Structure 1
Amino acid sequence: MTLAVLLGVMLGLAALGVPLVFALLGASLTTLLLFRPGVPLEVMPQFFVGGMDNFALLAIALFFLAGELMGAAGVTERILGFARAMVGHIRGGLAQVAIVSSFVMAGISGSAVADAAAVGSVLIRAMRRAGYPAGFAAALIETASILGPIIPPSIPMIVYAVLAGASVGSMFLAGIVPGVLIALGLGLVAYWRAGQLALPREPRATLPVRLRETGRASAALLAPVIIVGGIRGGAFTATEAGGIAALYVLLIGILVYRGLSLGGLWRALVQAAQGTASVLVILGASSIFAWIIADQGVSRAFAAAITDLNASRPVVLLLLNLLFFAIGMFLDPIAALIILVPIFLPLVQSLGIDLVQFGVITVLNLMIGLCTPPVGYLIYMTATMAEVSPATVIRESLPFLGVLIAVLLLVTYVPAVTLALPGIVTGR
């Protein structure tokens, strides 16, 4: 009953257009008044501030800043040039360029929205000029951009690691193989659709051109290596890696690419602050939500209900996937993480499912939700950039969504996909 009221009020307020943070606060307040009238309401601001007061969350602000500086410093153009030289000659060349660019940029920003904005703002127009259907271009950018939170660094994985007590470095490593599989799968689908649509290829770049573009992008290409390598090598923590990433992009923007102006730096700082604030207030509001779930024994009730089903572990994992997928269709990923993790963490631990694997399953489900109706933000964002209807983007994205779901099933039922690389690096 408690969960029904909590979710019902939240979804009702969200459906009325109330911003998510206020929908979460309204649902929490209503539930407290109904089920815990003796609890002083002062606990709400205490939990709100406490939900944001975690040193590891500073990494979110720093990676947001690194992503914004990347666009302002001209890093995006170098990455696009590198990708074009390497894969532009393959069938559907600009589509392949989009996938490779999203893959590389994911190693800096950690955000699907940032990747979609950076790559889509340039390549959707280029694809349309080259004769690509606008809906296809938007659908490709939409689905490829979820590589941002899968390839390290990843803002949602930082949030999950804080909530679940998992290692941020292991979470980062666990996303690499699924990210590679997603990129390869999207590339194959793009190749197949390019043949169906008779899409053009780019001219094959000569070796000197490839070397030149690699040299121009080399500083940007080193960023993911520095970030992940530094964390796993013990040179710095995940939070410090965010600072290193922001400083590195700032330096190459000023000293190497010479494309970062004072105005661009100011805009990057403002946009990073806005992005960080939007995440942190949701985290604060969601922490109250999560406390009520724990206080009312919702986690125990869920665990008992699933245990009573006598379902096997594969069936439980399937049920969790279906639930996460459905929730991801309606909720912001960060809010969904904070709601779902406290509920299901005890159940997952009782089943012996590795917390790192569970984290990748959860994050990937919620990222797919950004690409699915009715709320999928990336649908509307890319549809606006391509000047087509959201329905067109949804229709064109179906083959690409098939790849994402196939990788999700691999992550769910083949633990080595996520755990092998962290095991090799950590020696366990």
Structure 2
Amino acid sequence: MAGHAPALETAALPAGAAARLAFGFDRILGGVLEAAAAALVLAEIAILGTGIVARYVFHAPIVWSDELASILFLWLSMLGAVVALRRGEHMRMTGLVTRVGPRARALLEALALTASLAFVLLVLHHALEYAEEEAFIVTPALEIANSWRAAALPVGLALMIPVGLVRLMRLGQPMAVAWAAMLTAAAVAAFWVLGPTLKPLGQVNLVIFFVGIVAVNVFAGVPIAFSFALATFGYLACTTSTPLLVVVGRLDEGMSHLILLAVPLFVFLGALIEMTGMARAMIGFLASMLGHVRGGLSYVLIGGMYLVSGISGSKIADMAAIAPVLFPEMKKRGAEPGDLVALLSATGAQTETIPPSIVLITIGSVTGISIAALFTGGMLPAVVLGLCLCAVVWWRYRGEDLSGVERYSWQQILRLGLIALPAIALPFIIRAAVVEGVATATEVSTIGIGYSVLMGLLVYRQFDWRRIGPMLADTASLTGAIIFIIGCATAMAWGLTQSGFSQSLARAMGAIPGGAWGFLAVSIVAFIILGSVLEGIPAIVLFGPLVFPLAKAAGVHEVHYAMVVIFAMGIGLFAPPFGVGYYGACATSKVNPDEGLRHIWGYMAALLVGLVIVAAIPWFSIGFL
């Protein structure tokens, strides 16, 4: 009886006291989770960096380094996903949520959490079972039970429960939470009861679950990862006899590609170049050369995004490095904030193929295309789209008054160029390290991190040690959000494949008239739509394994097709009203989204022209392979 007394006392506490206890527990748990996730990011950097040194300098490869990195990566991804859930940073579509009244919005916010928790509760038992099954497998290098790695799945899912419950409490809308919980429970129960009725429907269930359920969840603001997961779990549970352990297995498979370890490392590198002043040095140099030209700073924005995208791999990091440096001066010259955010958004789409783009790495991971070939093929197509954007800038700023603009002397430009040289060299160092075989695409970011730390300490003298911890925690959160989407999308793609959908898609795509050109045209339209709804990474994981073999069969080079697909998705991602990348650009720039709507369509038209040119002339993508 004594063991139950504390629970009774807690239950008797007033609601305010109970909430304070819950929030206090959440702060402690959040601090521990962020510290652990940050430590894992640091450990991955150390392990991969040590592996490069051991192999390339001492010619003594560490045989267990990749295996340990893989084990820690799954833990990093799951703990990062928990941190992202606690912070509300899982990728979601909020176009509908932000346009409804306060009551409806509170209900949708609560539904986003209760739906996510529903999936966690449904799958947690199977995750525990999966981890137990993995205990019989011994890893080849470390010779430990694979359950040490697989345990990250049930542990991460279990931690999502208290985190999600506290977030529901923080909404401060008990009625909305109660209604959301009832609606979620009713929906789960309804599909469970309707299972025998759904099974005979065959491929109609694909529309019900993978179109209907996904669309309802996504538009209601449920995080994209959980929307995919709920649809997949529901489809397999209600319409097939597949063991639900498979859902966890596919989730594990999607989150365990070692190449994806590049994601957290490049995200951290992007934050590092902003903190060390390397981005500011590059922008300052470009501005000195072009600042006196009509629309010059807009050209600098385009060029700056090209250079920074070659370093960070994260669009939000790219924008955060560029916007605070350029926008104040551009506003002084009379540029409208709406035009600035429209161009920033357009450059986000333009630079999607610049290595080491996370989308390129994801395509290589799920399709087996050479990462080095994708890195090589991505440089020139981005230049083509950049020139199209420059044409719009020239037209819009052809009458700009430059009478009060300072023109830099060649001596000043040379001095700023020398200052920026170490920063400008970084993308080329990263590229050379991959081509020369010094490091793999996964490891090369550690070279960039080490280089940036040295430049920040010795050259630019900007290195705030106090920011490292928060940067590592932010990296873990973004990593968890990205990798959890990939895992859930992989499970969904497996469900679609097993249903026979891939064969149906192959027949439909094969019937498109016009051969390779018809296939490319349909792909452009399809991926613009997909990019606006799903974002690049989940769309690639979901449809990449299905459409890339079809492209090859239609006679389209896989690297060329990758560039076309990435640009199409980028246009969808950064085009309002649905593209979440556009709202990310607005948030980074601190500009109201409505201000950019009038200006952005000219830039989007330029991107479409550039995409058609890249699609029509494969040489831009494969000429240097």
Cα deviation, residue 11, structure 1: 1.5
Tell me which residue corresponds to 1:323: 526
Tell me which residue corresponds to 1:25: 229
For the structure 1 residues 386 and 254, does the alpha-carbon distance in structure 2 shift closer, same or farther, using more than 3 Å as the test?
A: closer
Write out per-residue CA displacement over residues 57-86 of structure 1, whole angstroms, 9 at most, x where no aligned residue.
111111111101011111121111111112
How many residue pairs get aligned? The number is 421
Cα deviation, residue 203, structure 1: 2.4
Write out per-residue CA displacement over residues 182-203 of structure 1, whole angstroms, 9 at most, x where no aligned residue.
2222222212211256577842
Partners of 1:285 and 1:398 in 2: how far apart? Answer: 33
For the structure 1 residues 311 and 179, does the alpha-carbon distance in structure 2 shift closer, same or farther, using more than 3 Å as the test?
A: closer
Cα deviation, residue 396, structure 1: 0.5
Map of 1:348-387 to 2, 5 A cutoff? 348-384=551-587
Per mean C-alpha deviation after superposition, the further-off stretch among 179-188 and 305-314 is 305-314
Per mean C-alpha deviation after superposition, the further-off stretch among 260-269 and 166-175 is 260-269
Partners of 1:189 and 1:28 in 2: how far apart? Answer: 44
For the structure 1 residues 257 and 303, does the alpha-carbon distance in structure 2 shift closer, same or farther, using more than 3 Å as the test?
A: same
Map of 1:336-355 to 2, 5 A cutoff? 336-355=539-558
Partners of 1:410 and 1:230 in 2: how far apart? Answer: 31
Partners of 2:410 and 2:439 in 1: how far apart? Answer: 37
1:11 to 215, 218, 222: 215
Structure 2: tracts of 5 or more residues without a match: 1-203
Cα deviation, residue 218, structure 1: 0.8
1:132 to 335, 345, 350: 335
**2:596 is equivalent to residue 393 of structure 1:** yes
Partners of 2:437 and 2:510 in 1: how far apart? Answer: 40
2:509–2:519 Cα contact (<8 Å) kept = yes
Instruction: Specify the code of the residue in structure 2 equivalent to 1:49.
Output: D
Cα deviation, residue 384, structure 1: 4.1
Partners of 1:183 and 1:387 in 2: how far apart? Answer: 24
2:316–2:585 Cα contact (<8 Å) kept = no
Map of 1:280-291 to 2, 5 A cutoff? 280-291=483-494
Partners of 1:39 and 1:31 in 2: how far apart? Answer: 10
1:93–1:202 Cα contact (<8 Å) kept = no
For the structure 1 residues 121 and 370, does the alpha-carbon distance in structure 2 shift closer, same or farther, using more than 3 Å as the test?
A: farther
Tell me which residue corresponds to 2:120: none
**2:257 is equivalent to residue 54 of structure 1:** yes
Tell me which residue corresponds to 1:45: 248
Partners of 2:611 and 2:471 in 1: how far apart? Answer: 33
Write out per-residue CA displacement over residues 232-260 of structure 1, whole angstroms, 9 at most, x where no aligned residue.
22222111112211221122112221211
TM-score scaled by structure 1?
Answer: 0.94
Tell me which residue corresponds to 2:285: 82
Instruction: Specify the code of the residue in structure 2 equivalent to 1:175.
Output: G
State the Cα RMSD in Å: 1.8
Tell me which residue corresponds to 2:439: 236
Structure 1: tracts of 5 or more residues without a match: 423-428
Equivalent position SS for 1:151: coil
Equivalent position SS for 2:443: helix
1:52–1:281 Cα contact (<8 Å) kept = yes
**2:323 is equivalent to residue 120 of structure 1:** yes
Per mean C-alpha deviation after superposition, the further-off stretch among 147-156 and 306-315 is 306-315
2:516–2:554 Cα contact (<8 Å) kept = yes
Greater relative CO, 1 or 2 (CA 8 Å, sep 6+): 1
Cα deviation, residue 279, structure 1: 0.8
For the structure 1 residues 309 and 97, does the alpha-carbon distance in structure 2 shift closer, same or farther, using more than 3 Å as the test?
A: closer
Cα deviation, residue 157, structure 1: 0.3
For the structure 1 residues 90 and 313, does the alpha-carbon distance in structure 2 shift closer, same or farther, using more than 3 Å as the test?
A: same
Partners of 1:147 and 1:265 in 2: how far apart? Answer: 30
Instruction: Specify the code of the residue in structure 1 equivalent to 2:333.
Output: A
Partners of 1:34 and 1:349 in 2: how far apart? Answer: 35
Equivalent position SS for 1:238: coil
Instruction: Specify the code of the residue in structure 2 equivalent to 1:183.
Output: G
2:282–2:420 Cα contact (<8 Å) kept = yes
Cα deviation, residue 149, structure 1: 2.6
Write out per-residue CA displacement over residues 368-427 of structure 1, whole angstroms, 9 at most, x where no aligned residue.
1122123212322333455554243132011211221122112222111100022xxxxx
Tell me which residue corresponds to 2:457: 254
Write out per-residue CA displacement over residues 72-128 of structure 1, whole angstroms, 9 at most, x where no aligned residue.
111121111111112112111221221121111111012222212221233223322
Instruction: Specify the code of the residue in structure 1 equivalent to 2:212.
Output: G
Tell me which residue corresponds to 1:35: 239
Partners of 1:271 and 1:329 in 2: how far apart? Answer: 25
Equivalent position SS for 1:330: helix
1:90–1:202 Cα contact (<8 Å) kept = no
Tell me which residue corresponds to 1:145: 348
Partners of 1:230 and 1:260 in 2: how far apart? Answer: 25
For the structure 1 residues 411 and 325, does the alpha-carbon distance in structure 2 shift closer, same or farther, using more than 3 Å as the test?
A: same
Partners of 1:178 and 1:199 in 2: how far apart? Answer: 32
1:89–1:201 Cα contact (<8 Å) kept = no
Cα deviation, residue 130, structure 1: 2.3
Equivalent position SS for 1:291: helix
Per mean C-alpha deviation after superposition, the further-off stretch among 156-165 and 86-95 is 86-95
Partners of 1:303 and 1:329 in 2: how far apart? Answer: 23
Partners of 2:338 and 2:589 in 1: how far apart? Answer: 7
Partners of 2:438 and 2:404 in 1: how far apart? Answer: 43
Tell me which residue corresponds to 1:225: 428
For the structure 1 residues 155 and 46, does the alpha-carbon distance in structure 2 shift closer, same or farther, using more than 3 Å as the test?
A: same
Instruction: Specify the code of the residue in structure 1 equivalent to 2:244.
Output: L
Partners of 1:307 and 1:104 in 2: how far apart? Answer: 39
Partners of 1:350 and 1:157 in 2: how far apart? Answer: 21
Tell me which residue corresponds to 2:622: 419
Partners of 1:306 and 1:152 in 2: how far apart? Answer: 30
Task: State which structure, 1 or 2, has the greater radius of gyration over its C-alpha atoms.
Answer: 2
For the structure 1 residues 122 and 312, does the alpha-carbon distance in structure 2 shift closer, same or farther, using more than 3 Å as the test?
A: same
Tell me which residue corresponds to 1:269: 472
Equivalent position SS for 2:623: helix
Per mean C-alpha deviation after superposition, the further-off stretch among 195-204 and 143-152 is 195-204
**2:502 is equivalent to residue 299 of structure 1:** yes
Partners of 2:490 and 2:300 in 1: how far apart? Answer: 40
Cα deviation, residue 19, structure 1: 0.9
Cα deviation, residue 310, structure 1: 4.3
Cα deviation, residue 224, structure 1: 0.8
Per mean C-alpha deviation after superposition, the further-off stretch among 120-129 and 77-86 is 120-129
Write out per-residue CA displacement over residues 173-217 of structure 1, whole angstroms, 9 at most, x where no aligned residue.
111101112222222221221125657784221111111111111
**2:360 is equivalent to residue 157 of structure 1:** yes
Partners of 1:22 and 1:196 in 2: how far apart? Answer: 50
For the structure 1 residues 385 and 222, does the alpha-carbon distance in structure 2 shift closer, same or farther, using more than 3 Å as the test?
A: closer
